Structure 1
Amino acid sequence: MTTATPGVLIVGRSPLVLETTLALLSERGYDAHATSDFGDITGQFDAAELDVVVLGGQVPPDRKAEMREALRAVNPRLAVVQGLAGIPGLLVDQVEATVAGETAVPGQAPVYDAEQRAIELVLFAPLEVEVTVYWITELVPPNPKSASAILVQGALRAGEHRVRVPDAVALDAAFATVVAGAASWSFRLTPPAG
């Protein structure tokens, strides 16, 4: 990543998701851009000025591959990330984790227990931790509606921790971001099997 203001490009279909994500990134100091035009991406944006590109789920797979290749031909250090869902806060979390570039401590990554609806985290030292869940409330193309909740925010002691995902969170399209110190993970939450 550059030492200056990180350049970010969000590529997706939903105007509302793009606008909201762009505003959130700009508020956090990123040089943020967004497009729903899947055409000549290097003609639209200077890849040399970008640090992170997030590709949304509505970008066709063949176009994603072409975009990655074209952008990295100009900027080999560019991080290209697959967006997990059209949820602005989640996309911002993915960008921030990529820009931070923190290597996660082995064995410290959170684990989601679907049967217990719980996120389990083992900390080897006391750390500031934030656990946020995001979920789609209405899948209305092209602008899905979503909600979020911060489940934990503050210092946690070393050891094992279990964070229960509230029943109000619909698990058919739900995700979590766990930030522990400078490390960050975003992942999908799933309903219990069967």
Structure 2
Amino acid sequence: MLVDAVAMLRERGYAANATNQFDTLLDDYDVREPDLVIFGGMVPPEKKERMRADIRELNPQVTFMQGLGGIAPLLIAQVEEFAKGAASGVEYDASARAFHITLDAAASVMVEGLWARFVPPEPVAQSTLVFNGELAAGAHQIAIPDEVPEQGSYAAVRIGDRVSAFQIGETPASVKRIAADQSLPAPTPVTTHFPWT
């Protein structure tokens, strides 16, 4: 998943790298250069706090973000939301399982449902295109289809060149237990070393 996410970000022009080797982070990267650091859910809380402090000491301008889920397209949406700004006029109605979108002018809109099947130690991404088309100015409702699970699901809503990432389904208790289980097999080591430029 990490390598896929880096490749997708690089294709979009972002200078991205990724690692799951937390103990060697400061040795592997010059952390004075990134604008954004995203932590995945499998980073233990105490390690995350230590890395935040270490990185902030070297790079006071960096922004930290918590990844919503271990899904490459969702990570891309979070990075684009940070870089370009969130899509405006978007609200998620959990009781109706629908997005309410209000547009001041006609715009291209895309809504993608995202989720994962968790196969330890890494998730396998799943997605469905919920809507992709031009919408007129005004209020619109876009329902989330049944194929998007009620638990552990997310959505990326793109309006023009802006995007917002949403968690639309609660994290299942089984995934929370897996994330807290320190006896899981270690994931395959990943540390990409692409130049930042």
- Which residue number in structure 1 is paired with residue 40 of structure 2? 56
| Residue in structure 1 matching 2:17, options 23, 30, 33 | 33
Is the contact made by 1:125 and 1:159 (CA closer than 8 Å) also made in structure 2?
Answer: yes
* Two-structure CA RMSD over aligned residues (Å): 1.8
User: Secondary structure of the equivalent of 2:17?
Assistant: strand
How big is each residue's C-alpha offset from its partner over 1:7-44, in whole Å with a ceiling of 9 and x where there is no partner?
xxxxxxxxxx1121112112222222111111142222
- Which residue number in structure 2 is paired with residue 99 of structure 1? 83
The structure-2 alpha-carbon separation of the partners of 1:95 and 1:168, relative to structure 1 and needing over 3 Å to count, comes to: same
Is the contact made by 1:53 and 1:79 (CA closer than 8 Å) also made in structure 2?
Answer: yes
Greater RCO (Cα-Cα under 8 Å, separation 6 or more): 2
> Is 2:100 the counterpart of 1:120?
yes
- Which residue number in structure 2 is paired with residue 24 of structure 1? 8
- Which residue number in structure 2 is paired with residue 166 of structure 1? 145
| Residue in structure 1 matching 2:135, options 156, 178, 181 | 156
- Which residue number in structure 2 is paired with residue 133 of structure 1? 113
Letter in 2 for 1:56: G
TM-score for the superposition, normalised by structure 1: 0.80
Taking the aligned partners of 1:165 and 1:47, their CA distance within structure 2 comes to: 39
Q: 176-185 or 44-53: which moved more? A: 176-185
Gaps (5+ residues) in structure 2? 171-197
Is the contact made by 1:52 and 1:99 (CA closer than 8 Å) also made in structure 2?
Answer: no
Is the contact made by 2:87 and 2:157 (CA closer than 8 Å) also made in structure 1?
Answer: no
Could you list the runs of 4 or more consecutive aligned residues of structure 1 that deviate by over 3 angstroms after TM superposition?
Answer: none
TM-score for the superposition, normalised by structure 2: 0.79
Letter in 1 for 2:145: P
Gaps (5+ residues) in structure 1? 1-16
- The structure with the largest strand share of the pair is 1
